[in-house]
Structure 1
Amino acid sequence: MGQLNPALLAEMQKRRFTLFGAVEIVLPERTVRLLDGAGEVMIGGERYLGRDPEWGVLAYVKGLSDSDGDSSPAPVLGLVPSGELALSQMLNPALQGSPVSVMIGALDRQTGSPIGEMYVPFTGELDVATPSWDLNRREVEFALSGVGERLFQVEEGRRLSDSFHQTVWPGELGLAFVTDVESTVNWGQSTSSTAGGTRGVFERPLNQEVSR
């Protein structure tokens, strides 16, 4: 987590202050900005609402914490959608990977504006959506993946070759005319060496006596 803004830190050290949270979800077609309570607040020139006409209200954000080692923060975001139309939109697989920011701030009661800069404990992406839909509960919970999650992806299958390079960047010819990118190691067979050349440990015939 980053450091608190000095103005926000000073406000939070007071005996009484008004704390609030906000979430921004950048969808492919629009951006949803929600508060954790009623009303509206302008943050960075953008309007955050207590209730979105389609995506409903923010229920909770769980799992915000520092982490180290080989793990990445994985909080969950709970939303109460406005209706069945919003539910179908929330479960659209195309939304997976949409950027999400979770913010915390203190409100100036006289002006209705945040004090200092918002504290951003989490930035990441939408992951899997899980609906809970019955007579007494209508909720959609999103698993969030942090930006550091991509650092743990296994890079198996990657090769320093033109063929693999073309699968990632089609038409990019950076490796098309590069020689000696791939070299063959002869194992267990004798090879001829030119004058001034050298032979590696894997280029000797098997069972060959080595003199020291």
Structure 2
Amino acid sequence: MTSLSPALDAHLARAQVTLFVAVEIVLPSATIRLLDGAGVLTFDSRTFTGRDPVYGVLGPIEPLTDGLDAEAPRVTISLLPPTNTAAATLAAPAAQGSAVSLWFGAVDTATGLVVDAPDLFFVGEVDVPTLRVGKGSRVLEYEVASVWERFFRNDEGARLTDAFHQSVYPGEKGLEFVTDVQRQLPWGADLPRPGAITDTRTGPLDYARRFGGADLV
């Protein structure tokens, strides 16, 4: 029993199978959908080609590696951009964080169609782009981190203020009148919580009674 669909699992048991890997990269200025070979395939309302007219073709895809205890799984994807302009766009700072998805599937050679539902085996985001230029060659390598990378991000910028609160929850004004907190509120810890806080304009406020935020006090 595998995680693949029954139809794809059965097709892979054949003596001869045509496999493919499809890659989607969602840049700020364009969405690139490429195959690891020639041809055109459509599945999941997406069309993938062997060559993008602007950004070129896929190069080698390094094997997926497991992360350590403080790292998320990663994969390295290579692109062969045909022009310096394309390479500059792919390596631009704005490309960092772009969503990347990889599928594995098979093609029915009798019909030329994708067999059932390809397996979405990796979802991540661009971490480090590296442009390697040599004599007669131009290779753009994307080191792509799994979406689990986000679990390692800290909250150093988090503040118990109206501005920060609304940056996360636009229009939610539970902290609108809290201008100066005099008592420390535990943040992200299971500790005793004070029943009131102080606002410099209105004096002591029963936060739970006035703002309906009983879970915060």
User: Which structure 2 segments of 5+ residues have no match?
Assistant: 186-217
**How far off its partner does 1:111 sit?**
1.2
**How far off its partner does 1:65 sit?**
4.6
Instruction: Measure, in 2, the Cα distance between the counterparts of 1:44 and 1:167.
Output: 34
TM norm structure 2: 0.74
Instruction: Measure, in 1, the Cα distance between the counterparts of 2:33 and 2:167.
Output: 37
**How far off its partner does 1:136 sit?**
4.3
Looking at both structures, which has the greater relative contact order when contacts are Cα pairs under 8 Å and sequence separation is at least 6?
1
Instruction: Measure, in 1, the Cα distance between the counterparts of 2:34 and 2:85.
Output: 18
Query: Structure 1 residues 89, 162: closer, same or farther in 2, change over 3 A?
Result: closer
Instruction: Give secondary structure in 1 for the equivalent of 2:74.
Output: coil
User: Which structure 1 segments of 5+ residues have no match?
Assistant: 186-212
Identity within the alignment, %: 43
**How far off its partner does 1:28 sit?**
2.1
Query: Structure 1 residues 128, 17: closer, same or farther in 2, change over 3 A?
Result: same
**How far off its partner does 1:27 sit?**
2.0
For residues 1-212 of structure 1, the aligned pairs below 5 Å read 3-65=3-65, 69-162=69-162, 164-166=164-166, 168=168, 172-177=172-177, 183=183
| Higher Rg of the two aligned structures | 1
Deviations 1:159-193 (A, max 9, x none): 434454256557642123469976259xxxxxxxx
Q: How many residues matched?
A: 184
Query: Structure 1 residues 8, 67: closer, same or farther in 2, change over 3 A?
Result: farther
The answer to whether the Cα contact below 8 Å between 2:21 and 2:104 also exists between their aligned partners in 1 is yes
Instruction: Give secondary structure in 2 for the equivalent of 1:51.
Output: coil
Deviations 1:75-125 (A, max 9, x none): 111011112221121122112222111111011001111111011111111
Instruction: Measure, in 1, the Cα distance between the counterparts of 2:117 and 2:146.
Output: 22
Q: Quick check: 134-143 or 67-76, which moved more?
A: 67-76
Instruction: Measure, in 2, the Cα distance between the counterparts of 1:44 and 1:164.
Output: 38
Instruction: Report the structure, 1 or 2, having the larger strand content.
Output: 2
The answer to whether the Cα contact below 8 Å between 1:64 and 1:121 also exists between their aligned partners in 2 is no
Q: Return the letter of the residue paired with 2:15.
A: R
Runs of 4+ in structure 1 deviating by more than 6 angstroms, as ranges, are 178-181
Instruction: Give secondary structure in 1 for the equivalent of 2:160.
Output: coil
**How far off its partner does 1:45 sit?**
3.1
The answer to whether the Cα contact below 8 Å between 2:161 and 2:179 also exists between their aligned partners in 1 is no
Q: Return the letter of the residue paired with 2:143.
A: A
Instruction: Measure, in 2, the Cα distance between the counterparts of 1:3 and 1:65.
Output: 19
For the aligned residues, what is the CA RMSD?
2.7
Q: Return the letter of the residue paired with 2:90.
A: M
Q: Return the letter of the residue paired with 1:15.
A: A
Q: Return the letter of the residue paired with 1:19.
A: L
Q: Return the letter of the residue paired with 1:42.
A: T
